[in-house]
Amino acid sequence: MPSIGEILARQAHRVPRRTALIFGDRQYTYQELTRQVNQTAHVLASQPVGRGDRVALMAPNNDNFILAYYALLRLGAIVVPINVRLAPPELRYQLEDSQSRLIVYDPALTATVLAGTPTGVGRLSISDLEELRRRASPNPPAVHVEETDDAQILYTSGTTGRPKGVLMDHHRIIWTGLNVVTGVGLREGERLLHVAPLYHSAELDLFLMGGTYVAATHIVLGEFHPRRVLETLAEQRVTAFFGVPTMYQMMLREDLLDRLDLSAWRIGMFGAAPMPPATVLEWARRLPGLTLYNLAGLTEMGPGGVYLGGPELLAHPGAAGRPILNTEARVVTEDGRDTAPGEVGELILRGETLMKGYWNNPAATADAIRDGWLYTGDLASRDQDGLITLVDRKKDLIITGGMNVYSVEVEHAVLSHPAVLDCAVIGLPHPDYGETVTAVVTLVPGETLTLEELREHCRPLIADYKIPRRLFLGSVPRNASGKILKFRLRQQYRS
């Protein structure tokens, strides 16, 4: 199997004049993209950057992120994508932990980079990189990269605390892209819209990699605005799009949706958090030509895991699905026994895309990977047909009065209230019941909601002991991948 850089170079020979990348008014054919990747690689090599060097890449979605990413891989370096929303201490931790020798960054992030870069780590602004690139050679750098070479350290989303660096090689990333190509049926020449952050594993490894494998046209937006996304879907004749559930919910509220020609859009993928079943069914009603896919995976699996789409998703809109290609999945008890149908246990996974391990953290690696299986920390059940439903994170399980409450089920009920835009359900300490079910709700602008109104709405939907006893109105903190940071909510509202 070739390396990631070789896959891009092959497309430049195979379809040189096909549009590879669109960002704003800048467009690149596959031939031009490969030429500028080579030029960027020569500039980075002069820093110097070589095989095995860790190089941080901190930039929002744009063409320069993609050029730098491919250039670093072409040199055999290990890319460390960095969340642009990190504060200086968080950036410093990831640079020190990864032992990065250089950070390539967007000029808009200069203040954060200057404050968060440890001594000894070089800095290269993308504006300087652009200027140097114009004078660099367009020929491929004389570096041979194997598919078994390390390619990326991507830090986990940190939903339970300090993030860990997930180490992947070229082989694993390529298989991650191939799995989604086969799983959802991406075709030669797709038009893929990238809105979710490219520094997150889903957009980077599933869709940039998978799309390049089928010589897709990558259309990149710098940030998410529901109206602009809908306009781009129509104007660019986008065929495939990935977004987190909140994006889909916000787009549904745009009156523009029913007036645009979205007939080219045939694959709608979502992940990182559960999609309310009502939202899945509403999209099916509004755009019957769109096939939706639920992708439930982890960074530690590429990301990969289980998926569900088409008629089966519409029949089971709350389910996560079956193992994606080249992946095995089990649901097991604490003692490692496979659960009976309907019984809740921990989801474990193994396959071609399983991480090499956590960077510089053998203890955490040994805890996560046992006998070749990744223990995900997700609680799930499996029905008689093998369909997997995620019910909660192990650390987010609420136990109230001796009864188990799975927060995802409660969140689905709360989100079905028309005044609710976003919500998270957590357990807070209770002197008698252990924990009390608590909802943190973001309201639709202009709407109001009381605890009793919410409880009345939930009564026909879930058992009484699952209905929230406390309600807080405010923002729901999410990381770049859209996952709720429940540990922050527990800290904020614990009293």
Confidence of residue 246 (pLDDT cuts 50, 70, 90): confident
With 60 as the cut, is the pLDDT of residue 102 above it? Answer: yes
Confidence of residue 125 (pLDDT cuts 50, 70, 90): very high
With 70 as the cut, is the pLDDT of residue 122 above it? Answer: yes
- CATH H superfamily, domain 397-493: ANL, C-terminal domain (3.30.300.30)
In sequence order, the 6+-apart residues with CB closer than 8 A to the CB of 350 are 327, 328, 372, 373, 374
Over residues 262-287, the mean pLDDT reads: 91
With 90 as the cut, is the pLDDT of residue 132 above it? Answer: yes
Percent of the chain clearing pLDDT 90 (strictly above): 81
Residue ranges of the chain that CATH labels 3.40.50.12780: 191-393
With 80 as the cut, is the pLDDT of residue 495 above it? Answer: no
Q: Which range, of 160-164, 216-220, 330-334, 458-462, averages the lowest pLDDT?
A: 160-164
Mean of the per-residue pLDDT values of the chain: 93
Residue ranges of the chain that CATH labels 3.30.300.30: 397-493
Over residues 39-53, the mean pLDDT reads: 97
Between these two residues, 1 and 197, which has the higher pLDDT value? 197
Q: Which range, of 156-160, 302-306, 361-365, averages the lowest pLDDT?
A: 156-160
Over residues 60-80, the mean pLDDT reads: 98
Confidence of residue 490 (pLDDT cuts 50, 70, 90): confident
Neighbouring C-beta atoms of residue 85, cutoff 10 Å: 13
Confidence of residue 157 (pLDDT cuts 50, 70, 90): low
Over residues 285-302, the mean pLDDT reads: 95
4-145 maps to CATH 3.30.450.20? no
Q: Which range, of 57-61, 109-113, 374-378, averages the lowest pLDDT?
A: 374-378
Residue ranges of the chain that CATH labels 3.40.50.980: 4-145
Q: Which range, of 73-82, 148-157, 257-266, 404-413, averages the lowest pLDDT?
A: 404-413
Over residues 86-104, the mean pLDDT reads: 94
Give me the pLDDT at residue 161, please: 56
191-393 maps to CATH 3.40.50.12780? yes
Give me the pLDDT at residue 153, please: 98
